[in-house]
């Protein structure tokens, strides 16, 4: 495993991200902040505690990496979603890769009557994206590699790592064979 961002760097990045979001919204306008589960779990907990405005907090489940490291069909489970009608919504995800997840969720929030929608991500992958949408708030630009830790998984492993690391092909194989035990 090759560490890309250590704990100190992640903390600094999240603080900076929170400052940018605070600057944009101010500290009195209420915000509905929605975590795109499960990858944003760790970022979300750290981020919402740094934001100054009153917040309503919710989650939505989206998964596209069905057991692999390449993007598959997107599944969205909005059962746990809170009402966004007439609200200013901030969607928080771990990483912007193809962009399909946030693009689709943004569409859903609009359909549900949100009055504004912005997106914040910890990581933005430097690659061609398949949608026009770009994230509004980004903590780090990263190369086009498969990363884990700080909420990001491979087969639901590694989310608990306090740092962000590139998973080497041998580790991907080893984790996959463990998984199929
Ligand atoms: P997108 O829809 O932008 O292609 O992908 C977003 C989702 O794919 C992220 O929320 C994340 O769950 C997953 N993903 C994309 N790139 C990576 C990566 O490098 N590592 C991990 N663990 N997940 C990724
Ligand atoms: Mg995700
Ligand atoms: Mg995943």
Most ligand 1 atoms within 8 A of CB, residue of 63, 71, 96, 97 to mutate? 97
Report the catalytic residues.
97
Which pLDDT score, from 0 to 100, does residue 73 have? 85
Omega before 118 cis (within 30°)?
A: no
Using pLDDT thresholds of 50, 70 and 90, give the confidence band for residue 66: low
Q: What is the Cα–Cα distance from 67 to 100, expressed in whole angstroms? A: 18
Q: What is the DSSP code (8-state) at residue 150?
A: T
Ligand 1: which residues within 6 Å by Cβ?
39, 64-65, 71, 93-101, 146-148, 152-154
Residue with tokens 């979603």: 81
Q: What is the ipTM of this complex?
A: 0.97
Q: What is the Cα–Cα distance from 102 to 118, expressed in whole angstroms? A: 10
Q: Can you list the positions of beta strands (E) in 40-180?
A: 55-63, 75-77, 88-96, 116-125, 137-142, 147-148, 164-166
Report all structural domains of the chain as residue ranges with CATH numbers, in order of start: 8-142 (3.40.50.2020)
The number of the ligand nearest the C-alpha atom of 74 reads: 1
Contact status, residue 26 vs residue 53, Cβ threshold 8 Å:
yes
- 95-109 pLDDT, tens digit per residue, is 999 999 999 999 999
| 106 contact partners, CB below 8 Å, separation of at least 6 | 91, 117, 119, 133
Task: Name the residue at shortest CA distance from atom 9 of ligand 1.
Answer: 95
Which pLDDT score, from 0 to 100, does residue 56 have? 98
Mean pLDDT to the nearest integer, 45-54: 98
Q: Is 20 exposed, middle or buried (0-12, 13-18, 19+ CB in 10 A)?
A: middle
pTM to 2 decimal places: 0.95
Ligand 3: distance of its center to the CA of 153 in Å?
5
Q: Give the Cβ contact number of residue 169 at 10 Å.
A: 9
Q: What is the DSSP code (8-state) at residue 112?
A: T
């Amino acid at each position: 495993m090759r560490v890309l961002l250590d704990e100190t760097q992640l903390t600094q990045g999240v603080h900076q991200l929170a400052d940018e979001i605070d600057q944009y919204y101010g500290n009195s306008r209420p915000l509905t902040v929605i975590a795109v589960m499960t990858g944003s779990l760790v970022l979300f907990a750290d981020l919402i505690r740094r934001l100054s405005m009153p917040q309503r907090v919710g989650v939505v489940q989206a998964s596209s990496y069905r057991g692999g490291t390449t993007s598959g069909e997107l599944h969205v489970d909005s059962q746990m979603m809170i009402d966004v009608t007439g609200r200013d919504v901030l969607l928080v995800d771990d990483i912007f890769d193809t962009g399909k997840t946030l693009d689709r969720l943004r569409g859903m929030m609009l359909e549900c009557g949100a009055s504004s929608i912005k997106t914040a991500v910890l990581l933005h992958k430097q690659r061609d994206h398949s949608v026009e949408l770009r994230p509004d708030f980004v903590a780090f630009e990263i190369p086009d590699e498969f990363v884990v830790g700080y909420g990001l998984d491979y087969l639901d492993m590694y989310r608990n790592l306090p740092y962000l690391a590139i998973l080497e092909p041998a580790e991907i194989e080893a984790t996959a064979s463990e998984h199929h035990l």
